[in-house]
Every structure is written in structure tokens, then in C-alpha cells.
A and B are shown apart, each in its own frame.
Chain A
Amino acid sequence: GNSVTQMEGPVTLSEEAFLTINCTYTATGYPSLFWYVQYPGEGLQLLLKATKADDKGSNKGFEATYRKETTSFHLEKGSVQVSDSAVYFCALNKGSNFGNEKLTFGTGTRLTIIP
């Protein structure tokens, strides 16, 4: 079956540090890949996505590249801010039928940025 493995947290960084959160996946065929972010007390929001190999998703300074050869979709940001503190989820979607879109999530990585 499909699965997503992401870096165990929690991760604590100083403001302006470089961030990498690793994510690898197992799926047949060509899934779409996503990073979702959950701020404290809120629901999940899509951060970025990539739908085919070598695509790069980017948003709010975050980037991730769909690497089929390594089955990875690592999240990076060059300079983190306190406001980036949240839980980050890597996910894949391997629906094949209309209405069968099923997101499989990783376990989430809690990120805390200290001033």
C-alpha cells in the first residue's frame, strides 16, 4: 500500500536558520505529493504541491522537489521565522477514480523556531 515516512520531530531551530524536513514515500505509479502545515489550534492548509517527477513546489519561501529516483519530497526553507512554528505533514494522493482521492499522510513534524 501507499505510505509516507517523514522525519521525526520535534525540530527546534533559531530564527534565520536553514530548514530541511525529510520525506520519502512508497507508492505505485505516479502519485501527487503535498506538504500541508498545521498552525496551533487550526486545521491543515496546503503549503505546496508537485504532481510529477522533477516538479518543484514553492510557497512562502518553502520549496520541495519531487524526486522519483529517490522517492523523496524534502521540504526546505533558507531562513525560517518564528511564524513558521507549526506541524508540517508530507502527504501523497494516489486516487485513480473520480472521488477516490485519498491523502496518505506522514506522521507530522513539529517545528519550533526560537527568536
Chain B
Amino acid sequence: DTAVSQTPKYLVTQMGNDKSIKCEQNLGHDTMYWYKQDSKKFLKIMFSYNNKELIINETVPNRFSPKSPDKAHLNLHINSLELGDSAVYFCASSQGQFANEQFFGPGTRLTVL
């Protein structure tokens, strides 16, 4: 039973296109996140949502728009894709207090040509 799942696993697209990545968690957590991992493995948070409300937005270009239809889902839509958007995107979730573990999805590798 997958705890945090993402689709698709791989996404190859042309510059200028619009694409979405979906994330679902079945852990009953109230907080979800999107992270970007670049080619050097550096991980940086992009967004977090708590109970469908945006909490963290880390100076991400407004071409990136997260959407949380309910507590179990956090989707990421990217408009006008650029070469620099190529990366692995990870979804994660946690429950409440700041000491708690975050559970990560398997990642979506986005390649922009």
C-alpha cells in the first residue's frame, strides 16, 4: 500500500508546454509539500499546504501553481515550461508538529527539451 504516490514517474516535454504532476497520500496527514531536486541532488522546498491552505511559498516563479482539492491531494501545475525546470519533483506529507517525519513520494523526473 503506497503511502505517498506521484504520477507520472517520468515526464518528457517541450519548452513552452503546460504540464501537471499529481500527488496523493493515504496516511491521513494534514500537511503536504512539493520539493525540487536539481541535477546535483540539491533539495529545496517549493510549497507546503496545511488542510488545503497554502502555508509556504518559497519564491517559486508564478508559472508554478499548486492546487490542493482536499487534504489527501496536492497537485503541481507548471505553465510555459523552461529548460531550467528539468529536475526531479518530490511530493511529501507530514502530520502536524514540526518534529514529525515527512514521508516522501518516489519522485517525478521532468525533462524539458
B-facing residues in A63-105 (Cβ within 8 Å): 87, 89, 93-103, 105
Chain A residues with Cβ below 8 Å from B100 are 101
Given the interface pairs A45-B104, A99-B31, the reply to whether A107 lies near B48 with Cβ below 8 Å is no
A-B contact count (CB 8 A): 72
List residues of chain B with CB under 8 Å of any chain A CB. 4, 30-31, 40-45, 48-51, 53, 55-56, 90, 92, 94, 96-107
25 contacts between A and B (CB under 8 A): A32-B98, A36-B104, A42-B106, A42-B107, A43-B4, A43-B90, A43-B92, A43-B104, A44-B92, A44-B104, A45-B104, A49-B101, A89-B43, A99-B31, A99-B48, A99-B49, A100-B48, A101-B48, A101-B94, A101-B98, A101-B102, A103-B45, A105-B42, A105-B43, A107-B40
